[in-house]
Amino acid sequence: MKFELLKKDSNSSARLGKITTDHGTFETPIFMPVATSAAIKGVHNKDLVENISPKVLLSNTYHLYLRPGENTIIKAGGIHKFMSWNNNILTDSGGYQVYSLSSNRKINNDGVNFKSHIDGSYHFFSPEKAIDIQRNIGADIVMAFDECTPYPCDKKYARKSMDLTHDWLVRCINRFKSTSSRYEYNQFLFPIVQGSIYADLRKQSAEIISNHDMPGNAIGGLSVGEPHDLMYEMCHEVCSILPWKKPRYLMGVGTPTNIIENIALGVDMFDCVMPTRNARNGMLFTKNGTINIKNKKWKDDNSLIDADGITFVDKLYTKSYLRHLFSINEFLGKEIATIHNLGFYSWLIEQSKKAIREDRFLEWKDKIVKDLDNKL
């Protein structure tokens, strides 16, 4: 993997970069739509490519391991062929499920026992197994197995969890280096900084992660309920330590404002279910704020969904029609909303890159964030 820094904003830590893997080149900052089980719910790849053009999708190791299973993906020739996707793919290691499925798992130094949310069966993930599964899935960028701590979390537990994540990282690296890609392209491993909301732990973790000298680095354990100001504080501390010439990936973030604020801190890569999940619940993101399309106020509003939107649905359908689709539980409504939201996130990232190129990112950020959190 090759990472090139192309430009830095003069008044913030925002930067423009370029990452090249065997599945192509993409610029950063970048938002990666979440295709948890090898699909973005309700959206065809054709619509993704033609309207949003994401260069990276994120899938989840734990979910793909359960369904369809490693062997099915291997027989298809890897995840790209399985889901007919020719661009880059990143897989989370399953570490987030250590957090999200906390009532259905038991954790120790060796790894994690999960109880399947599908059929109640038990499965054991070790750092080595997480790497093996990701080798079999075949994503371009794979993540180290970690423990994502909840919020709130006392410092003693946060330190213990961080130390465990660091121990697991060594095992992940050893397994990754002792194995090779199953397919005809290279894979790249990113470690993950943890430490909850404690600045000294975050700094310690960032230093340890940096010393492993991997192709890129991730920041985990944020966007789990902590106040946004704490998220920004932790990202600032971590980005001040992580190597400048390697990409930084903030996992699971976030709202449009979260993304813009963290770009200003020097983060390059983002993913989140928010634009797709919220779309399926009737929330639309726009540059002027959010719309709950289910509200009665939109019943007779025959204006376009978003006159400034970049996708075909924005110029084709009205707010009144989209509200109607949600009111009758027609799945087309969820698909339209999903395409719109992903298009908006794509537009937002492109505008941020344009502002960095023109060396006016801070000015642009301060102006746009005033409206992003409005409720229309």
CATH number for 103: 3.20.20.105
CA distance 367 to 336: 28
Q: Is 366 an active-site residue?
A: no
206 and 224 fall within a common domain:
yes
Identify the helix (H) or strand (E) that includes residue 38. none
373 CB-near residues (< 8 Å, 6+ apart): 255, 257, 289, 290
The residues pairing with 89 across neighbouring beta strands, listed in sequence order, are 57
261 and 305 fall within a common domain:
no
Classified as helix, coil or strand, 252 is coil
Judge whether 263 and 294 are in contact, CB under 8 Å: no
Residue 215: alpha-carbon gap to chain centroid: 18
Judge whether 250 and 267 are in contact, CB under 8 Å: yes
Q: Is the pLDDT of residue 125 over 90?
A: yes
CA distance 35 to 89: 9
Q: Is 213 an active-site residue?
A: no
From 239, 272, 305, the end of a domain falls on 272
pLDDT tens per residue, range 166-222: 999 999 999 999 999 999 999 999 999 999 999 999 999 999 999 999 999 999 999
Q: Is the pLDDT of residue 102 over 70?
A: no
Q: Does the model's pTM come out above 0.75? A: yes
* Annotated catalytic residue within 47, 146, 271, 314: 271
How many domains does the chain divide into? Answer: 2
Q: Closest Cα partner for 189 from 170, 202, 204?
A: 170
From 254, 272, 290, the end of a domain falls on 272
90 and 39 fall within a common domain:
yes
Q: Is the pLDDT of residue 39 over 80?
A: yes
Over residues 299-310, mean pLDDT:
98
126 and 181 fall within a common domain:
yes
257 and 307 fall within a common domain:
no
206 and 355 fall within a common domain:
no
Average pLDDT, rounded, for the chain: 96
300 and 236 fall within a common domain:
no
Q: How confident is the model at residue 360 (pLDDT cuts 50, 70, 90)?
A: very high
CA angle in degrees (0–180, nearest 5) for 90-96-97: 115
From 216, 248, 272, the end of a domain falls on 272
286 and 262 fall within a common domain:
no
208 and 294 fall within a common domain:
no
Q: Which domain holds residue 171?
A: 2-272
* Annotated catalytic residue within 9, 47, 92, 140: 92
Judge whether 253 and 262 are in contact, CB under 8 Å: yes
310 and 167 fall within a common domain:
no
204 and 318 fall within a common domain:
no
22 and 64 fall within a common domain:
yes
pLDDT tens per residue, range 135-163: 999 999 999 999 999 999 999 999 999 99
